[in-house]
Structure 1
Amino acid sequence: MTALLDVESLLGEMCDSLSAHLATKNIKNPCVIGIRTGGVWLASYIHKKLGVSEPCGELDISFYRDDFTRIGLNPTVKPSSLPFETEGRDIVLVDDVVMSGRTIRAAMNELFDYGRPASITLVTLIDLDGRELPIQPDIVGQKMSLKENQQVKLKGPEKLVLEVTEK
């Protein structure tokens, strides 16, 4: 059984919420950074929709994961690309799914190795139950709970499709 969610509609709502959030904080030129892989696809969409002048950044947090020694290296590790200074900048950090908070913690650790941002706004398409760390997204497309035998996967990048499948 596969359930598909309307990613395009969720992204439109997320961009509206993010624009309002940034205006409230008086942030005029944020740096948009996606966490590989799904977060990069979403960040690209958000980047275009917001009309941000600088290129979109990409993080590969593989070496920053706290389970790196246990699970080993992801075979598709690529270098992160941040084509701008992060020191003192307002960052919009984008991931496809936030669950335990560990991926976001790893991403923030990597970001701080590049410089100390002025702020980080966390944006996610899906917010799942299962938080292990006190990390909460600022902008959420949809909050979900999965059954023990379900998983969620974002497919793309041309047409973004979110699938909820049985394991």
Structure 2
Amino acid sequence: MPNLTDPASLDAEALYAALLEQVKTGLAGAHDPAIVGIHSGGAWIAERLAQDLGLTERCGVLDVSFYRDDYAKKGLPAEVKPTHIGFDVAGATILLVDDVLYTGRTTRAAINELFDYGRPARILLAALVDRGERQLPVAADFVAAHTRVAAGQALRLTQDEARRFTLTIEHDHPVT
């Protein structure tokens, strides 16, 4: 089991720097790399990674709202964003990026949607934070921190106007 970080002490900017170094090493020599972020926090991280790695022309965004297996239960979020992938996915090494890896359901939905755009040679998963408690067999290739939060709580990534990240612990609104 990985070392767990106290969720109250998570510094999102420091975590981003650690994730960037892991990804830089992990993508070295990758065939036809591209980055795809999951809306919204994963998209913010993906955009910064793409800029820092010189891959801005090969950066895309997914909104998995229509691909979730709990769509009928949760309904649509207030802000459904369009998916945008402006490059050829077929044969590429795709770095799929999310802010917080939890049950694995969002990752599954993102992979399903990604395959609608073509068949990548490889998909790698990067997450700023892994909070465990998986419901599906999903593991990140790159993760900056592992933590646990109390039942009924969620980690939320925000981005300010200067594009600096902050992680907060919020009350999770259960689906009824």
TM-score in same-fold range (> 0.5): yes
What secondary structure sits across from 1:54 in the alignment?
helix
Matched with 1:164 is 169
Kept in 2: contact 1:39–1:94 (CA 8 A): yes
1:122 counterpart residue number:
125
Q: Does 1:14 align with 2:19?
A: yes
Q: Is the 8 A contact 1:87 1:118 kept in 2?
A: yes
Q: Are 2:35 and 1:5 equivalent residues in the alignment?
A: no
Distance 2:69 2:75 in 1: 11
1:17 is displaced (CA, Å) by 1.1
List structure 1 runs of 4+ shifted beyond 4 angstroms. none
Shift of 1:5: 2.3
CA–CA distance in structure 1, aligned partners of residues 16 and 117 of structure 2: 28
Aligned counterpart for 2:146 among listed residues 128, 143, 148: 143
Letter in 1 for 2:12: V
Residues 19-41 of structure 1: per-residue CA shift (max 9 Å, x gap): 11122xx3054111110000011
Name the Cα RMSD after superposition. 1.7
Answer yes or no: is 1:57 the counterpart of 2:55. no
The answer to whether the Cα contact below 8 Å between 2:39 and 2:81 also exists between their aligned partners in 1 is no
Please show how residues 68-107 of structure 1 align to structure 2 within 5 Å. 68-107=71-110
Confirm or deny: 8 A CA contact 2:100 2:131 kept in the other structure: yes
Distance 2:83 2:136 in 1: 24
1:56 shift after superposition? 1.7
Aligned AA (2:121): A
Unmatched segments (≥5 aa) in structure 2: 1-6
Contact kept? 1:33, 1:92, Cα under 8 Å: yes
Which whole-Å CA distance do the structure 1 matches of 2:84 and 2:171 have between them? Answer: 34
Deviations 1:86-143 (A, max 9, x none): 0111101100011100000000000001100001110000101210100100000100
Distance 1:142 1:49, change over 3 A: same
User: Aligned partner of 1:96: which letter?
Assistant: D
Q: Structure 1 counterpart of 2:44, which letter?
A: W
Superimposed CA distance per residue, residues 142-164 of structure 1 (whole angstroms, 9 cap, x where no aligned partner): 00011224321111152210112
For residues 41-96 of structure 1, the C-alpha deviation after alignment (integer angstroms, 9 at most, x for no partner) is 11111111111152420000000000011111122112200010101111011000
User: Which stretches in structure 1 are left out of the alignment for 5+ residues?
Assistant: none
Distance 1:4 1:161, change over 3 A: farther
